[in-house]
Amino acid sequence: MQMLAEHAKDLIVAFFMSMLPILELRGGIVFAAAREIPLPLAVAVCYLGNILPIPFILLFLRRVFVFLERFKYTKRLVSALERRARKKEKNIQKYQMLGLFMLVAIPLPGTGAWTGALVSVVFDMQIRKSFPLIALGVLAAGVIMVVISYLIPSMSFFQ
């Protein structure tokens, strides 16, 4: 309990940072490592922060797109987002569900849970199939980021 109180502010920042579309869990884990938040706590908070918005995106993004397409300026935004998702189409079609997992799991710019959810909506994937893959992809990205942020810097040749 003392550990929670000691890191409360940083945990809140890491949680909300992990909810953001660009940073996601990747940014949250790096932040948590920099703030010396204990590893299990950092992973739990960042994972929850990253995965929390995904069901809402999967359930409501199509409706939001339909609404926004009614307006001149927001129609461009919707078109840009759909074009971005379509850029991933070749890999998604080639690898199908494994492609969705890999899109989320590889911690590179333009990938992640938000992009995976966007792709899932644009390609009309079933939520009951895409959400578990997105959740597993976030977990895999978390493992990669833990190695990069926590384990490699603690190795003796870096000190």
CB–CB of 117/58 below 8 Å? yes
Which residues 6+ apart lie within 8 Å of 106 measured at CB? Answer: 141, 144
CB–CB of 104/8 below 8 Å? no
Encode the chain (159 residues) as per-residue pLDDT tens digits. 676 678 899 999 999 999 999 899 999 999 999 999 999 999 999 999 999 999 999 999 999 999 999 998 899 989 988 888 888 777 777 777 888 999 999 988 889 999 999 989 988 899 999 999 999 999 999 999 999 998 877 765 555
Got the DSSP string for 72-136? HHHHHHHHHHHHHHHTTHHHHHHHTHHHHHHHHHS-STT-SHHHHHHHHHHTT--HHHHHHHHHH
What are the structure tokens assigned to 17, written together? 């940072």
Total of domains in the chain:
1
Structural domain containing residue 109: 2-158
Q: Is 52 helix (H, G, I), strand (E, B) or coil?
A: coil
